[in-house]
Amino acid sequence: YLKISKLALAFAIIHSKPPGKSSKEYTEHLAKTVSEQDFGWKWKVEMLEAEVHRLRQELLLNRICPRFHLENNPSAETLLNRESINPTSYSSQLEDSGCDVSNDSAFDSLGISSDFHQSEYNVKFPPLNLCHPSKEQSLAAPVQFLQRLLEIRKLSEGGILQADFSELENDSFTICNSVSQLLDGLTVFYNNPKFPVSNFLTEAVCVLVSLITDTKISNHVLTKSFKKLEEFKKNLIQIILRNSSVNRFQALHSVSQTLLLLGKNNVLRNSLISLLLSEVRRFAEQLLQAHQVQSVYDITQYENIFPLCMILEQLLQNETEESNVSSSDYEGEEKMKFLKNLDQIILLLSEEFPLFSLYLWRVSVLLNSAQMQ
């Protein structure tokens, strides 16, 4: 039947081909036409899938809080405006070459201060364009949904609305897919960042940090999307290590600050410390091996390892300062691997690589002090 069908199609093409065009040319023309139609159907399917997901998001919000209508609730708007702050300006980043990092306040990642505060919720979202989505447009749908979820949380905390967040357990797909889209969109931006950063991308990072630090929502997010968050952290670490552009320091600083913000959550901080210990230890061993045989080492990766060392040091300091967090929460195996033969590595590298050796020593001191407490 298949052979007969192919033969019949071939005869039909030959019989119907226009004059002045060969059978091969006409066949290629028909194949291209069918392919374009197929692309059109794929685009329509993507639009329908996006619409279905949007409706699922609205349904979940309605289940959590049936009376949530912020636009018709003046007291709700007053509460949000009173407790919100405006994202900082990015005008200073326009002329920044990325090499001067002396002014941390003007050079903060994505306009977010080191002491994270809740950003304003009434950010303007760009219209969706599924044909040629930009970085901001790919983030619009998940950010809007998660932002409204946080609005309900804040209003319920203020006694303005009553909400049932147990509904998040009943629809894990919607929350997982939304967080996944948010993380994918941020990864795309960090892989190819453009400065100055738009307010919308800043808001996306603020929403992510709010999700993982909110006491009522973070458990749901971590339970459903922990693997995706782990993958996101690994991607950010690799973005720092592999970035080889000449003027890369502004982008590396942005990624570093985002990792530090993720580290505000105890669960994510513990796994992040383990990931950083593994990467720093691996590089130290590679550098020692190259030094001992007098071979060439990757100078770019050597420069990029310092942001990871600084993140690791800051996270360990934060953990030491919080008395309610046990030093054994993160993987003890990775800590033991890091400390094993570390004194000998520092001694052998200290003359040729004094700065890196100093960072290794400072990290080891923090690890040992945490272990003694």
Tens of pLDDT, residue by residue, the chain (373 residues):
888 888 888 888 888 888 888 888 888 888 888 777 777 777 788 888 888 888 999 999 998 888 765 444 444 444 445 444 344 333 333 334 444 443 444 334 454 544 444 444 444 444 444 344 455 666 888 999 999 999 998 888 888 888 888 888 888 889 999 999 999 999 998 988 887 777 888 888 889 999 988 888 888 888 889 999 999 999 999 999 999 887 888 889 989 999 999 998 888 998 999 999 999 999 999 999 999 998 888 899 999 999 999 999 999 988 777 654 444 445 578 888 898 889 999 999 999 999 999 999 999 999 888 665 5
- Closest by alpha carbon to 217, among 169, 261, 258, 264? 169
Whole-number Å distance between alpha carbons of 279 and 238: 9
Report the pLDDT value the prediction gives residue 79, as an integer from 0 to 100: 45
pLDDT of residue 323: 52
Residue 138 near residue 185, CB atoms below 8 Å: yes
Own/partner pairs for 290-297, CB < 8 Å, 24+ apart? 291/348, 291/349, 291/352, 291/353, 292/348
Residue 370 confidence (pLDDT): 66
Q: And the tokens for 333? A: 């195996």
pLDDT given for residue 15 in this prediction = 83
CB 147 within 8 A of CB 105: no
Which residue type sits at 329?
D
For the entire predicted model, the pTM comes to: 0.72
